[in-house]
């Protein structure tokens, strides 16, 4: 028979998956001899079973619960519902990972009309007993039975009003009895039955409530945000009550073994005399700093300090502890690895190595890769932001804080940026044409679009703060005004935004630049020593490239050449090329682009100082380079610039219109229909490499990447143009260099025919953005309309565009890796695109044996750390 | 060493892959003792090698050719270029499958300034010799060296003009010598070198020209149309010349052993006295019917009849033969299985069984499934069409002939159709809203769109003739006019169109209905006995269902419920449902649809008479049910109908706008966000089944199909709604019936997670249209813009939307079949969508072990026959 219930003394820290974090640590503390009020844990497997059994707790589990209860009662020498010496318990949820979205605690469970009298006798305090009872009724009704807490508050207020008092403490024991009676009446009215008097019923209802809370919308949302699988379930901890509110020799508090904000190595926390845990949280009384306990209760303080040191040494990590003092006796109610800021995490990890508690590899595992994000972007000055109230909130699309003046078009933003003004670009939504304006902005704000909208993706890539999809914004681009909940901003007005929280503020809030401290550098060194996966960056200009190299990038994994095409001095030639009717006209326009593109590549090769660069050839559908049909003025301007008519441009826009551009004429399909584009890009890449090699001596091996290949013959066809052009350049310049030609694997068919494609491709770079779209059959731009329903229905637990879907897309990736290696054992394999910076995806990439991941510059340190985690975890699991 | 060259006596009929059809049959005729002018065949492998070697014929092949040439010269006792007795040859291409796109014949090869004199001596006819020489120069220059034939014709005309004659035959021997000199001068001028005098050079150049012709655009196009792989290559046949033009005891002709139009069992053909083969083809002289040869040359005629009988018995098939008579001696130049009309194919196959020459299974293999198409649609009356000249030509999108009056909107077409008028619907392109109008039309004509456009797909499904993508049409919907090359048609004017050829005619051309003859029925009986794959149909209304059942459909594999939503009496409720803001409003609209949809299903269950039906739930994005934003008048009309405002409708259209609707909010994603739609459809299906079971006693087992599933939890979620609704209906009606719930497999992720999906799905139906789109990453609606480049570059050899891409999409299908069976060994597997009617795809489906294919009603007989082919071929290959 499966064991579903464990006494604390039966468990240990390693049983976290079964007992949850809280339960496992209560067991561990019990085992190492700390004073823990005893109790038992109902396992996560019981929760899973509960859902399998259609939300019923099986008889065998009930039996085990009551058996453990009996043993705990015996330990305490008390009895549930006893009229002399009643046993009371707390019931708390406790999942494998800490989950604030779940059920709150129920305290004082076991009180009923009989036990309350027993409690009164035992404590000699009738008022305390009835106060505890009324608190329990309210808590149980609220947390377990879903009766609104405020209904009870109304009754309490009425009683106080009738008595002419304002504070709870002014109510007498009889008043409390009156309150209890009224609370019970409310319960009867709301639920149609009496408040349960049987403590066992109270217990089972509470346990069920914890199980149910695993699937409440908050918990689901939290799990999705934190990549926690729904299948884990939660455990339930039932623990004998101790009381911190029975007099001035009682108290309760929480403390960290080190400062969770700074990482400083000193006890940090607070406590309250004569209080229960909830009072600390509720904030009615102001808790005292933990160090003052030394004076108040010297012996208790010393004991607590010893426990803290013991626990930190035991867990080799900073601990977050809860304790209660009952009549001068210290009880430990919880310990866990403490949450901490990124800066603290770095300092603690490095300090613990210096203190001999951790090896460098262990220290690396103590810092969550995602946490580094906040260290790599500007933040609001802590004092400046304290008083600020957001005027609106959108989606936190790209982290970091930004303050500046609002501009409503990319052109205005670029102009202001060039003039040295701090710019916040405000748009309904951004388009590829806005690139330059975005680049000159400190922050980007949009009214539409989701976490993977154009604005979000590009801002993250550029490391610009961005808040998107803020529906409260009313943007009038024509009149250049932004209205937010009635407040109007005109061009040049100051706003501030926080891309990590989605908050938008009126006015200018001071920001501080990101700083990389010594701890950070030391930890990254250890990470680099541990990892085997290389980390490259996605960059399209020398500035981003330099930034990425500073952050440790080992090359460029994805240079999107089309991003170079949007800038003002080249878009004209690009449009000329698109409007060309003949190969000759197209080649004429391309000839103008060649020196510009070659110059781009030269600057990037220089910024890379010899590191490799994968250049992806023109990818987006050509219509993206033309204005929308409705933009009459812009079309006229372009027409006059190019010496043609608006009609001609509109005709071309019509020709280029596609029903599903994502699946249209783009990627290598452009190179198949217009080989001259691929030829121009090849010239630019190779000539730049030769020039920079000559000038700087770097031994550059250009990596040419053909996008969107679905069929080997497609690659062969384009490769032929590329190789012929390279041979021409070699002949012209009377020199040769090495180069390699590969492809993006971003179409399902490329995965299943990867063995064939590898005959021509020297490397694969997995374009998991598109691969995810095609594999799921949904478009990133449109999925927003239904993905919320999918999260709510728990069909998806995480955003497949943020975290690689290992079960589906991952299978295709694995297949392509296997087939590719069968043909070409030494094939170079990488991943580019948004997923390349996601830690769980990086672990996947490590495990399937890719050579590198490539991500935006600001995610490079995160990727380095995640790669180290993957390598160390793999080693440890062997 | 590989043998690349085979003397005719070294080959046999079975070596068709190596020697090509013509070469293998020349060898076979040699072996069975027929008088064949001897020669040799350069194999298809030599052609493949030629391309591998960068279009050079390897030395070893050259050696083998000259060796075979020497042996053939010896056989004839003649020598290449000999001044007394010169050896002349013909050079002809000959692929595995007959390919009219390839190189024409070169005759009289071997003639030069010396040999022509030898020929003159030998024949005693100087004029004949020089006429042959000038013909050879012209033919070689045209066919091998690509000098325009007309340049030579100009010279000949000039010579005739100078001599004051009009007919070639009026030119003397000296005139011919003059022509030869002038032809040679033209050659020198065009090619910069003398006309090659070395017969071996002439021969090698001709062989290379045949190899080159394998990859000319015509050949590539023909291969694509006929599913012939580019890797096959062509063989070259070099054969000693015999002359049918050396006097009145000479002649040449072609004949079939049976009538290729009707299949009637009598010799059919024609011949010319004193002529070469090309004269028969050129049509300058009118050939005589073959039976008149009996009088002209009785012995030769008898011999030829004996040969014909022998060959037909030998090949067990109707033969198409070429022959030449040289001075009273009969030579056989070619035999092959003759091309025939569909009707003839059926009659011949059935007759050959009755004559004991074939078994029924062999007869089944003699009829190409695709051929049946023409028997299943109306055709123009043969006499009526003879004189008609097309006014324009578009893509032959859906076979059959149609004549009627033009209408320019679906509503006008429907109104005219309801009034009993024959309608041709003329549209820029069709949209799903045009369904009803299309249904009331005999033919559909569009100016835009390709073979897989909406108009094409729907017309094929409905069995309506359609010509699409005819760019010559100028359609003015507003003024209701159609202008074609200057000719204007107004509403009600007559036009006729042929969906099998793409031709469009002015006026009314008589059509004849399709007739299913007794031969057809007998052959299909044999096919049904042989096949194991079941054939279902895609049908959405009782009329199509009845048609399909008549054509032998064993059930419905795909009932697209949304097609039912477009008809006039229900589109209003559909729109009301879409415009609903709350679940309640939506349910109110759905309640109106329920009885209508239930009625549809009842009618279809009745039409099926107990056969199974798979009902696919609502699939298209909802915007398809609303007009386009620009259709102001229609929007206003809908608004007034529904009691709302145009603004509200426009707002909804904006909300529903998607960047890539193909990958948007559709399929089961609709059922996830609006479970009430799935609930209504479930009620309709189940209530209809119960009602028809009660009324007619059919034991109906509804098959409910959830479309576009990509993840097992999605299916679970929708299935829950379906099952709950079914349980409710059962409870209400106090009865139960069996049912099954399955899914379309049309998303790559569904294929790779098919093992999981099969835990919930009782059947899979492969939706290979969408699966092809997602697997290739291109949209059917947009691919037209670049697919031509892909065919030209030989990246694709066939349209992946017409013929299943077995190498890519097929791999995913196989994977899903394997994974699905692992979970559920008895899972029912089928395919629906366009591919289900394609013979090569049907063979694939048979081989991977699907249970059934489903195709449009008019393709059911084709599918039955193709399934029989697959089963018989599999048996034969064992």
Q: Could you read off the pLDDT of A796-852 as tens digits, one per residue?
A: 988 899 899 999 999 999 999 999 999 999 999 999 988 998 999 999 999 999 999
Mutation target among A795, A806, A807, A816 for the B interface, most CBs of B within 10 A: A795
Strand partners, B536: B854
Report pLDDT digits (tens) over B485-509.
Answer: 889 999 999 999 999 889 999 999 9
Report pLDDT for B280: 67
Nearest CB partner across the interface for B775, out of A661, A748, A793: A748
Residue ranges of alpha helices (H) inside A284-366 are 293-296, 298-315, 342-354, 360-365
Q: Does residue A365 surpass a pLDDT of 80?
A: yes
Q: What is the mean pLDDT of residues B766-794?
A: 90
Confidence of residue A567 (pLDDT cuts 50, 70, 90): confident
Q: pLDDT band for A268, please (50, 70, 90 cuts).
A: very high
Average pLDDT, chain B: 92
Q: How confident is the model at residue B517 (pLDDT cuts 50, 70, 90)?
A: low
Pairing of strands A288-289, A379-380: unpaired
Q: Do A790 and B659 touch (CB under 8 A)?
A: no
Q: What distances in angstroms separate CA A574 from CA A563, A598, B173, one per listed residue?
A: 12, 15, 65
Phi and psi angles of residue B744, each rounded to the nearest 5 degrees, phi first: -80, 140
- Tell me what pLDDT residue A106 has: 93
Average pLDDT, rounded, for chain A: 92
Which residues of chain B are within 8 Å of residue A660 when distances are taken between CB atoms?
A: 660-663, 779, 781-782
Predicted confidence (pLDDT) per residue in A33-52, tens digit: 999 999 999 999 999 999 99
The residue of B215, B759, B795, B796 whose CB has the most chain A CBs within 10 angstroms, and thus the best one to mutate to test that interface, is B795
Quick check: A658 and B790 CB within 8 A? no
The residues that bridge with B251 in the sheet, in sequence order, are B273, B325
Q: Give A877: exposed, middle or buried? Use CB within 10 Å, 0-12, 13-18, 19+.
A: exposed
B657 in active site: no
* Cβ contact, residue pair A669, B786, below 8 Å: yes
Q: From the CA of B783, how many Å to the nearest CA of chain A?
A: 6
Q: Looking at beta carbons, which residues of chain B come within 8 Å of A775? A: 710, 747-749, 752, 774
B664:A775 CB<8 A? no
ipTM comes to 0.83
Among residues B47, B470, B751, B832, the one annotated as catalytic is: B832
Which tens digits make up the pLDDT trace of B458-479?
887 777 899 998 888 999 988 9
Given this model, what pLDDT does residue B329 score?
97
Q: pLDDT tens digits, residue range B810-863?
A: 999 999 999 999 999 999 999 998 899 899 999 999 999 999 999 999 899 999
Q: What DSSP element (H or E) covers A410?
A: helix A410-418
Q: Residue A770 corresponds to which tokens in the numbers above?
A: 């598109």
Interchain contact, B660 vs A782, CB within 8 Å:
yes
Kindly report which listed range (A420-424, B517-521, B676-680) carries the lowest average pLDDT score: B517-521
pLDDT of residue A283: 58
**Greater model confidence, A548 or A878:** A548
Among B790, B807, B809, beta carbon nearest to A672: B790
Lowest mean per-residue pLDDT among A519-528, A653-662, B347-356: A653-662
CB-based contact B662 A660, cutoff 8 Å:
yes
Whether residues B753 and A807 touch (CB distance < 8 A) is answered with yes
* A775/B747 Cβ within 8 A: yes
Residue A32 scores a pLDDT above 90: yes
pLDDT > 90? residue A416: yes
The residues facing B163 across adjacent strands are none
The residue among B132, B223, B857, B114 whose CA lies nearest residue B549 is: B857
Alpha-carbon separation of residue A116 from A124, A137, A182 (angstroms): 11, 12, 16
**d(Cα B477, Cα A161) in Å, to the nearest integer?**
78
- Contact between B803 and A722 under an 8 Å Cβ cutoff? The reply is no
Identify the CA nearest to A563 among candidates A600, A611, A590: A600
- pLDDT the model gives residue A566: 82
Q: What are phi and psi for residue B802, nearest 5 degrees? A: -100, -40
**Smallest Cβ distance to B748: which of A673, A774, A793?**
A774
pLDDT at B343: 84
Q: Using a CB-CB distance cutoff of 8 angstroms, which residues of chain A are in contact with residue B777?
A: 663, 708, 710, 746-749, 770, 774
CA B249 to CA B396: how far, in whole Å?
Answer: 47
Pairwise CA distance, residues B815 & A48, whole Å: 32
Q: Which of A776, A781, A795 sits opposite B713 (nearest CB)?
A: A795
pLDDT at B103 over 80: no
> Residue A815's closest chain B neighbor by CA?
B752
Q: Is B587 exposed, middle or buried (0-12, 13-18, 19+ CB in 10 A)?
A: middle
Lowest mean pLDDT among A16-20, A718-722, B264-268, B455-459: B455-459
Average pLDDT over residues B644-654: 91
In the prediction, which pLDDT does B515 show? 62
Shortest Cα distance from A596 to chain B (angstroms)?
28
By Cβ distance, the residue of B673, B770, B794 closest to A789 is B673
Q: What is the pLDDT of residues B542-559, one digit of tens each?
A: 989 998 999 999 999 999
Please report residues of A whose CB lies closer than 8 A to that of B808.
710-711, 748-749, 752-753
For the segment B16-28, what is each residue's pLDDT rounded down to a tens digit?
999 999 999 999 9
Substitution target in B452, B778, B799 with the highest count of A β-carbons within 10 Å is B778
Beta pairing, strands A852-855 & A828-832? parallel
Q: Do A779 and B805 touch (CB under 8 A)?
A: no
To the nearest whole angstrom, how far is the Cα of A878 from the nearest Cα of chain B? Answer: 29
Cβ-based contacts of A782 with chain B (< 8 Å) = 658-661, 663-665
B664, B773, B775 member nearest A779 (Cβ) = B664
**In whole angstroms, how large is the CA radius of gyration of chain B?**
32
> Do A777 and B811 make contact, defined as CB atoms within 8 angstroms?
no
pLDDT given at position B285? 74
SS3 content of chain B, % helix, strand, coil (to 5): 50, 15, 30
**With an 8 Å Cβ cutoff, are B660 and A665 in contact?**
no
HSE-CB of B287 using CA atoms within 13 angstroms? 23
Q: Distance of CA A702 to CAs A591, A706, A829, B481, Å?
A: 21, 13, 16, 58
Q: What is the pLDDT of residues B198-226, one digit of tens each?
A: 999 999 999 999 999 998 888 887 887 77
Which residues of A are known to be catalytic?
454, 832
pTM: 0.83
Please name the member of B660, B672, B775 whose beta carbon is closest to the beta carbon of A661: B660
CB-CB neighbors (< 8 A) of B796 in chain A? 711, 713
pLDDT tens-digit readout, A594-614: 999 999 999 999 999 999 999
C-alpha A551/C-alpha A528 separation (Å) is 12
Give the model confidence (pLDDT) of A491-519 as tens digits: 999 999 999 889 999 999 999 877 666 89
Residue A515 backbone phi and psi in degrees, to 5: -125, 135
Please check whether residue B406 is in contact with residue B430, taking contact to mean a CB–CB distance below 8 angstroms: no
Report the C-alpha gap between B694 and A157 in whole angstroms: 66
Which residue in chain B is spatially nearest to A754 when comparing CA positions? B808
Q: What is the nearest CA distance from B817 to chain A, expressed in angstroms?
A: 15
Query: Taking CB atoms and an 8 Å cut-off, how many pairs form between chains A and B?
Result: 169
Mean pLDDT to the nearest integer, B683-705 = 97
Residue A198 reports pLDDT greater than 90: yes
pLDDT tens string B218-274: 888 788 777 788 889 999 999 999 999 888 999 999 999 999 888 999 999 999 999
Q: Are B758 and B826 in contact (CB under 8 A)?
A: no
Strands, E, within B428-477: which ranges? 443-446, 465-468, 473-476
Question: Under 8 Å CB-to-CB from A382, ≥6 apart: which residues?
Answer: none
State the sign of the Cα–Cα–Cα–Cα dihedral B102, B104, B106, B107: positive
The confidence score (pLDDT) of residue A169 equals 81
> Are B663 and A789 in contact (CB < 8 Å)?
no
B598 CA to chain A: closest CA distance, Å?
28
From B377, B454, B563, B835, active-site residue: B454
B811: chain A residues, CB-CB within 8 Å: 752-753
Q: Determine whether the interchain pair B785/A753 forms a contact, defined as Cβ–Cβ distance below 8 Å.
A: no
Is the distance from CB of A47 to CB of A13 less than 8 angstroms?
no
């Amino acid at each position: 028979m499966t064991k579903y219930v464990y006494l604390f003394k039966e468990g240990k820290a390693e049983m976290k998956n079964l007992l949850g974090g809280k339960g496992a640590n209560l067991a561990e503390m019990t085992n190492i001899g700390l004073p823990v009020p005893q109790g038992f844990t109902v396992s996560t497997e019981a929760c899973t079973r509960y859902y399998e059994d259609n939300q019923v707790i099986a008889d065998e589990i009930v039996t085990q619960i009551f058996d453990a209860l009996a043993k705990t009662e015996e330990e305490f020498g008390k009895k549930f519902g006893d009229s002399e010496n009643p046993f009371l318990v707390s019931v708390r949820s406790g999942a494998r990972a800490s989950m604030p979205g779940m059920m709150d605690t129920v305290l004082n469970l076991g009180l009923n009309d009989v036990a309350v009298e027993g409690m009164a006798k035992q404590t000699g305090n009738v008022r305390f007993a009835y106060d505890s009872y009324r608190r329990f009724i309210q808590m149980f009704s609220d947390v377990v039975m879903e009766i609104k807490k405020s209904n009870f508050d109304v009754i309490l207020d009425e009683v106080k009003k009738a008595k002419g008092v304002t504070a709870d403490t002014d109510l007498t024991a009889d008043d409390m009895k009156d309150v209890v009676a009224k609370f019970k009446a409310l319960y009867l009215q709301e639920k149609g039955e009496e408040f349960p008097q049987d403590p066992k019923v109270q217990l089972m209802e509470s346990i069920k409530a914890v199980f149910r809370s695993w699937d409440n919308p908050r918990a689901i949302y939290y799990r999705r945000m934190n990549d926690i699988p729904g299948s884990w379930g939660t455990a339930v901890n039932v623990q004998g009550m101790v009381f911190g509110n029975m007099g001035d020799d009682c108290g309760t508090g929480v403390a960290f073994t080190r400062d969770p904000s700074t990482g400083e190595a000193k006890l940090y926390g607070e406590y309250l005399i004569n209080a229960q845990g909830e009072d600390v949280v509720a904030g009615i009384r102001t808790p005292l700093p933990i160090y003052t306990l030394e004076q108040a209760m010297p012996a208790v303080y010393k004991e607590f300090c010893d426990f803290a040191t013991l626990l930190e040494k035991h867990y080799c990590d900073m601990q977050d502890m809860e304790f209660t003092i009952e009549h001068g006796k210290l009880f430990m109610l919880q310990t866990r690895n403490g949450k901490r800021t990124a800066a603290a995490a770095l300092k603690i990890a490095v300090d613990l190595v210096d203190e001999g508690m951790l090896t460098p590899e262990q220290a690396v595992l103590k810092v969550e890769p995602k946490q580094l994000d906040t260290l790599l972007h500007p933040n609001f000055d802590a004092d400046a932001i304290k008083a600020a109230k957001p005027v609106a909130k959108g989606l936190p699309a790209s982290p970091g804080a930004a303050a500046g003046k609002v501009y409503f078009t990319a052109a205005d933003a670029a102009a202001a940026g060039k003039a040295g003004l701090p710019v916040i670009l405000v748009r309904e939504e951004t388009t590829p044409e806005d690139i330059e304006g975005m680049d000159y902005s400190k922050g980007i704000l949009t009214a539409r679009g989701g976490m993977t909208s154009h604005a979000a993706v590009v801002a993250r890539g550029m490391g610009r703060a961005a808040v998107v999809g803020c529906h409260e914004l009313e943007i009038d681009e024509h009149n250049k005004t932004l209205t937010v909940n009635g407040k109007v901003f005109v061009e040049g007005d100051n706003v501030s935004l926080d891309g990590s929280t989605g908050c938008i503020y009126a006015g200018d809030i001071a920001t501080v630049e990101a700083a990389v401290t010594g701890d950070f550098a030391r930890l990254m060194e250890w990470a680099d020593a541990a990892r085997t996966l290389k980390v490259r960056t996605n960059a399209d200009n020398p500035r981003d490239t330099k930034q990425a190299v500073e952050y440790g990038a080992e090359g460029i994994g994805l240079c999107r050449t089309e991003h170079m095409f949007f800038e003002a001095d080249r878009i004209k030639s690009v449009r000329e090329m698109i409007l060309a009717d003949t190969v000759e006209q197209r080649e004429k326009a391309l000839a103008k682009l060649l020196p510009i593109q070659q110059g781009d590549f030269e600057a990037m090769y220089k910024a890379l100082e010899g590191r490799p660069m994968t250049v992806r050839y023109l990818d987006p559908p050509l219509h993206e380079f033309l204005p929308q049909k409705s933009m009459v003025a812009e079309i006229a301007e372009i027409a006059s610039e190019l010496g043609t008519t608006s009609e001609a441009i509109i005709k071309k826009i019509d020709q280029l219109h596609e029903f599903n551009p994502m699946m249209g004429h783009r990627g290598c399909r452009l190179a198949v229909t217009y080989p001259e584009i691929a030829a121009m890009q090849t010239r630019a890449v190779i000539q730049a490499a030769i020039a920079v090699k000559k000038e700087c001596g770097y031994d550059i091996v250009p990596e040419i990447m053909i996008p969107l290949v679905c069929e080997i013959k497609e690659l062969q066809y384009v490769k032929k143009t590329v190789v012929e052009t390279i041979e021409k350049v070699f002949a012209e310049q009377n020199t040769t260099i090495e180069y390699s030609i590969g492809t993006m694997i971003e179409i399902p068919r490329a995965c299943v025919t990867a063995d064939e494609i590898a005959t021509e491709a020297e490397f694969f770079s997995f374009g998991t953005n598109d691969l995810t779209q095609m594999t799921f059959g949904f478009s990133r731009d449109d999925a927003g309309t239904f993905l919320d329903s999918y999260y709510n229905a728990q069909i998806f637990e995480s955003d497949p565009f943020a975290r690689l879907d290992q079960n589906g897309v991952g299978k295709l990736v694995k297949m392509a890796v296997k087939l590719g290696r069968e043909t070409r054992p030494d094939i170079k394999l990488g991943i580019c695109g948004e997923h390349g910076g996601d830690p769980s995806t990086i672990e996947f990439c490590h495990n399937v044996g890719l050579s590198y991941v490539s991500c935006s510059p600001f995610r490079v340190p995160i990727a380095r750390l995640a790669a180290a985690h993957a390598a160390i975890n793999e080693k440890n699991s062997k």
